[in-house]
Amino acid sequence: MNKLVKGSIAAAAGIALLLGGAGTFALWNANTEVAAASVTSGTLALTPSGTGTWTDITNGRNAAISDVSQFKIVPGNKLRFTQTMKIDASGNDLVADLTYSAASITGSLKNVAVTTMGVSSAAGSSTLPAGVTADTATAGSFVVRPVAAGSTTAVVTFVVELPQATDGAASMNGTLDLSKLTFTLKQRAIA
């Protein structure tokens, strides 16, 4: 065979292969669309409402403090910061812990002062807001669950006490910086 015939046969075979690959090889298949609706996510938010206030509650006092930065705390003093908060919580399995971040407190009195947190439905009340319970495992921590309304209002209190037995050298001329005091609302893992 001459080269021209061999080349023509090879070209014809190549064209046949290319044309064969251009077709479709289909197996039966089917699909359908269903109205499965949409899935939406819940919410978790903690928002301050208004401006917080300071009160001197030493030995049963209830004296408002207009400028806490001018108050000179001494051993035995107890001060309370009160802040109204809106808690938004929605979600089928949502459970969250409400507490404060000790890391947000700085200053030389940090390891001397005693700090605690409380939550109530209104100032001066001991009743907890709807959807909030005390965490029996962790003092000063509260458990938040969704309520039908989607949100609840809580009065959060933060108490700072310089104990009577505080060593003078460790506490004189000290500071407790609460300018970045942070309350946290953190979801628990689903059990």
Residue 34 lies in a domain: no
Other residues' Cβ atoms within 10 Å of the Cβ of residue 146: 23
Range of the domain at 178: 43-187
The more confident residue out of 52 and 10 is 52
Quote the tokens at residue 162: 């310089």
Residue 19 lies in a domain: no
Q: What pTM does this model have? A: 0.80
Residue 95 lies in a domain: yes
Give how far Cα 62 sits from Cα of 4, 16, 79, 86, Å: 111, 98, 10, 25
Residues 6+ apart with CB under 8 A from 1: none
Quote the tokens at residue 166: 């505080």
Nearest residue to 76 via CA among 62, 60, 63: 60
Least confident interval from 1-15, 35-49, 71-85, 111-125: 1-15
Domain count, the chain: 1
**Residue 104's CATH number:** 2.60.40
Quote the tokens at residue 7: 């080349």
**8 Å CB contact between 157 and 118:** yes
Residue 17 has pLDDT above 70, yes or no: no
Q: Pick the most confident of 25-39, 86-100, 157-171.
A: 86-100
Kindly report, residue by residue over 131-156, the tens digit of the pLDDT. Answer: 999 999 998 899 999 999 999 999 99
Query: In which element (H, E) is residue 184 found?
Result: strand 183-187
Residue 28 lies in a domain: no
Cα–Cα distance measured from residue 123 to residue 176, given in angstroms and rounded to the nearest whole number: 24
Residue 89 lies in a domain: yes
Kindly report, residue by residue over 111-136, the tens digit of the pLDDT. Answer: 999 999 999 999 889 999 999 999 99
Nearest residue to 119 via CA among 132, 138, 131, 104: 132
**8 Å CB contact between 178 and 80:** no
Cα–Cα distance measured from residue 172 to residue 39, given in angstroms and rounded to the nearest whole number: 57
